[in-house]
Amino acid sequence: MENAIELKNITKAFGTKVIANKNVSLDLKKGEILSLLGENGSGKTTLMNMIAGIYYPDEGQIFVNGKEVTIKSPKDALDLKIGMVHQHFKLVDVFTAAQNIALGMKDKGHYSIKKVSAEVSEMGARYGFVIDPNKMIHTMSVSEKQTVEIIKVLYRGADILILDEPTAVLTPQEIKKLFDVLREMRKDGKSIVIITHKLNEVMEISDRVAVLRKGEHIGTVLTSETNEKQLTEMMVGQKVDLEIDRKDPVDPKPRLLIEHMTVKNRDGLNAIEDVSFTINGGEILGIAGISGNGQKELLEGIAGLQKVESGDVIFHNPKKNKPVTFFHKDLKKIKKMAAEGCFHYPDGTKVDLTGKSKKEIVRLVNEEQILFYEDEIIDLRHRTPREIQELGIKLSFVPEDRLNMGLVGNMSIIDNMALRSYRKGKSIFVNKKRPKSLADKIISDLEVVTPSDMTPVRRLSGGNVQKVLVGREISSSPKVLMAAYPVRGLDINSSYLIYNLLNEQKEKNVAVVFVGEDLDVLLALSDRLLVLSGGKVAGIVDARTVTKEEVGMMMLSRAKAEDAEALNLPTTEKKEDVE
């Protein structure tokens, strides 16, 4: 078989220390699907970006259809019929789908967006994609956006397609549809490279698998002659213990009580509807559900980032027998609480502050003589996000765009550490020592690949950015830790680092909420599993005894009407709209 693409000794470095690709020689045969497999930061995306004209190799040669070529820009790549669907969507928000697809096209004849729309609808119907060409991108869901991206490449008639983690944001049904389309294209003689972390997908879709490790090409194997275990070993270079060490929760007590909570999404619809459950300290509560079933709104509602329409979020602050401080309470509040009988002395007698002078009370508090009699109970619904954070409820939300929430891309790792603690301390100058030691600790503990702790975060690869984000939240010794998709896009090794960190937190009696995608992981890591479906609780089950199939059934139990619609071909009514 002829080669569609052949790479010879490709090397690419960023700066002097980070070598993204080193002497990579690879080939893509005509009419095959090649999986590109590797850990985060192993240089898969960089390598493909050089074929797509985003980066230019420092050394080496690229051959397309047997001829050596120079690809200096995406335009050059398109001229060679190479199209890439990027992991981060490259779409113009205020354009319609059709306008985005028409972008950069230079076909002859009169420019007519109507003509493009008609062709896009026709193409969508042919491949089984649902797409409204006149819909604005900024009103689209993630999977709709990806559909636009894929059709964009198809529309250009690319013979060589590169898909960078296309399945990360799709539902299982959508993945199946995508794979059907890819197989159709392979029949057409097109050559496809698919970058993915999911081994089962590699086994299902590809003809051959090329494995990269730390920027180097480890080998290419026929899918039919390999297995998941061998691929994992090639990828990580050592055997990986796939067991997650899950200890039994010690004395779990209610930490957060969610009562009849309703949260609306941006369109004013109920994303979370009348949801009630309890989160215990010293336990990991897994949250399962198809992406977009209210996970985001649930966590943001608790963290105070979204308005809770109705219901309550009751926080049991584990304060019993702990001294009161002036950090959260002022003198007046302490006096009032003492009068209500909230405090006792270390010897067990009730605190009575009547008649005591201000000075005396301050002394007692500072000497930690006044202790809480019971756990403090606080309704979080009307608290600000900052107050909620200071109470120790941390949301480590890893969104689809890692840099948009939580980290400032242009700032160094150290400065990003300081962001969380800048309110502490009395000096007007920022104390950089502690953030620096924290940054260095995270870099070594979580094996973050970075030239230095002063490197701007945006220069790190996606997985390393995620490690920095999760590492920082865990370091703040939280009482409740909510981690949403903390391992999305991470390789196996890094994922396990994160799982172990969550387990450590659980053993420290932290209430851990883990929103995940991989059911196997959710079942292996969680103590209890809450299944969300259509913004409601479909069930709360014991993760140790429930089966995958049972959870899967629950996830689909209240599938939203839109989801059901998305699985079908467009109705005749919709087609008329398009015309």
Partner 1 sequence: MAFVSFLSSAIRLSATFLYGSTGEIITEKAGHLNLGIPGVMSVGAAIGCLTVFKLLKAKVYSTILLILLPFLATIVAGGLMGLLYSFLTVSLRANQNVTGLALTTLGVGLAGHFMNGIKAESGIIARASKLYSNLFGIGGDNWFVEIFLSHGILVYLAIIIAIVAQIVLNRTRVGLHLRAVGENPATADAAGVNVTGYRYVATIVGSAIAALGGLFTIMDYMGGNWEYILEGFGWLSIALVIFTLWRPALAIPGSIIFGGLYIASSYIKGITFAQIELIKLLPYVMTIVVLIFTSIVGSKKAQPPASLGLNYFREER
- Among 66, 67, 108, 111, which residue interacts with partner 1 (rule: CB under 8 A)? 111
Evaluate whether 457 touches 403 at the Cβ level (below 8 Å): yes
Closer to partner 1 by Cβ: residue 385 or 409: 409
What gap in Å lies between CA 6 and CA 65, rounded to an integer?
8
Q: How far is the CB of 188 from partner 1 (least distance, A)?
A: 22
Q: Are 323 and 364 in contact (CB under 8 A)?
A: no
Neighbours of 492 (CB within 10 A): 17
CB closer to partner 1, 90 vs 328? 90
Helix orientation angle between 492-507 and 228-236, rounded to the nearest 10 degrees: 90
Instruction: Provide the token pair at 525.
Output: 């890591």
Q: Copy the structure tokens of residue 222.
A: 């026929």
Residue closer to partner 1, measured from CB, 142 or 240: 142
Closest CA to 100 of 81, 120, 70: 120
Q: Which is nearer to partner 1, 75 or 176 (CB)?
A: 75
Q: 3-state class of 34 per DSSP?
A: strand
Shortest distance in whole angstroms from residue 92 CB to partner 1: 5
Picking from 229, 190, 187, 224, the residue whose alpha carbon sits closest to that of residue 209 is 224
Rounded to whole angstroms, the Cα distance separating 310 from 288 reads 23
Q: Does 536 bind partner 1 (CB under 8 A)?
A: no
Q: Binder to partner 1 among 126, 138, 229, 382 (CB under 8 A)?
A: 138
Closest by CA position to 569, among listed 21, 75, 124: 124
Q: Is 407 a residue that touches partner 1 (CB under 8 A)? A: no
Task: With beta carbons less than 8 A apart as the criterion, state whether 298 and 532 touch.
Answer: yes
Distance CA 298, CA 482 (A): 11
CB of 266 to partner 1, least distance (A): 11
Q: Where are the beta strands (DSSP E) in 430-502?
A: 480-484
- Cβ-contact 277, 537 below 8 angstroms: yes
Determine, following the binding rule CB under 8 A, whether residue 9 of this chain makes contact with partner 1: no
- Residues 45-104 within binding reach of partner 1 (CB under 8 A): 52, 54-55, 73-75, 77-79, 84, 86, 90-95, 99-100, 102-104
- Least Å distance between CB 103 and partner 1? 4
CB of 404 to partner 1, least distance (A): 14
What is the phi-psi region of residue 572: left when phi exceeds 0, alpha when psi lies from -120 to 50, beta otherwise? alpha
By beta-carbon proximity to partner 1, the closer residue of 94 and 428 is: 94
CB of 414 to partner 1, least distance (A): 20
Helix runs in 266-341, H state only: 295-303, 331-339
Give dist(CA 309, CA 301) in Å, integer: 9
CB of 91 to partner 1, least distance (A): 6
Residues 147-166 that bind partner 1 (CB under 8 A): 152
- Minimum distance of partner 1 from residue 360's CB (angstroms): 53
* Interaction residues for partner 1, span 226-285 (CB under 8 A): none
Q: Which is nearer to partner 1, 33 or 91 (CB)?
A: 91
Report the first-to-last Cα separation within the chain, whole angstroms: 43
Nearer to partner 1, 164 or 491 (CB): 164
Closest CA to 575 of 129, 152, 118, 143: 118
> Residues 410-449 vs partner 1: string with x where CB under 8 A?
----------------------------------------
- Interacting residues with partner 1 between 19 and 48 (CB under 8 A): none
**Choice between 25 and 70, CB closer to partner 1:** 70
Min dist. Cβ of residue 62 to partner 1 (A) = 17
> Residue 496 — φ and ψ, nearest 5°?
-65, -35
> What is d(CA 343, CA 349) in angstroms, rounded to the nearest whole number?
9
Q: Quick one: 107 or 565, whose CB is closer to partner 1?
A: 107
Q: Near partner 1 by CB under 8 A, which window of 105-113, 184-192, 278-286, 498-506?
A: 105-113
Contact residues for 485 (Cβ-Cβ < 8 A; gap 6+): 398, 399, 515, 516, 517
Does 457 interact with partner 1 (rule: CB under 8 A)? no
Please say which residue, 84 or 221, places its beta carbon nearer to partner 1: 84
Question: Cα(510)–Cα(488) distance, rounded to whole angstroms?
Answer: 22
- CB proximity list for 8: less than 8 A, separation 6 or greater: 25, 60, 61, 62, 63
State which of residues 13, 123, 136, 405 lies at the interface with partner 1 (CB under 8 A): 136
Which of 162/298 has CB closer to partner 1? 162
Q: How far apart are CA 271 and CA 560, in angstroms?
A: 11
How many residues lie near partner 1 (CB under 8 A)?
30
CB 30 within 8 A of CB 189: yes
User: Which of residues 55 and 496 has its CB atom nearest to partner 1 in the complex?
Assistant: 55
Question: Of the two residues 6 and 164, which places its CB atom closer to partner 1 in the complex?
Answer: 164
CB of 102 to partner 1, least distance (A): 6
Q: Are 12 and 198 in contact (CB under 8 A)?
A: no
Among 2, 15, 68, 105, binds partner 1 (CB under 8 A): 105
Distance of closest approach, residue 475 Cβ to partner 1, in angstroms? 26
Q: Which is nearer to partner 1, 12 or 296 (CB)?
A: 12
- Indicate whether 13 belongs to the interface with partner 1 (CB under 8 A): no
Contact 96, 135 (CB under 8 A): yes
Choosing from 458, 548, 574, 575, the residue that interacts with partner 1 (CB under 8 A) is 458
- Nearest approach in angstroms of CB 74 to partner 1 is 5
Measured CA to CA, the distance from residue 235 to residue 230 in angstroms comes to 9
Residue 145 Cβ, how far from partner 1 at the closest point, in Å? Answer: 12
To the nearest whole angstrom, how small is the minimum distance from the Cβ of residue 464 to partner 1? 12
Output the smallest distance, CB 362 to partner 1, in A.
46
Q: Angle at Cα 309 formed by Cα 528 and Cα 259, nearest 5°? A: 35
Residue 82 or 388 with smaller CB distance to partner 1: 82
Q: Cα angle at 517 between 515 and 521, to 5 degrees?
A: 85
- Per CB under 8 A, residues contacting partner 1 are 52, 54-55, 73-75, 77-79, 84, 86, 90-95, 99-100, 102-106, 111, 136, 138, 152, 458-459
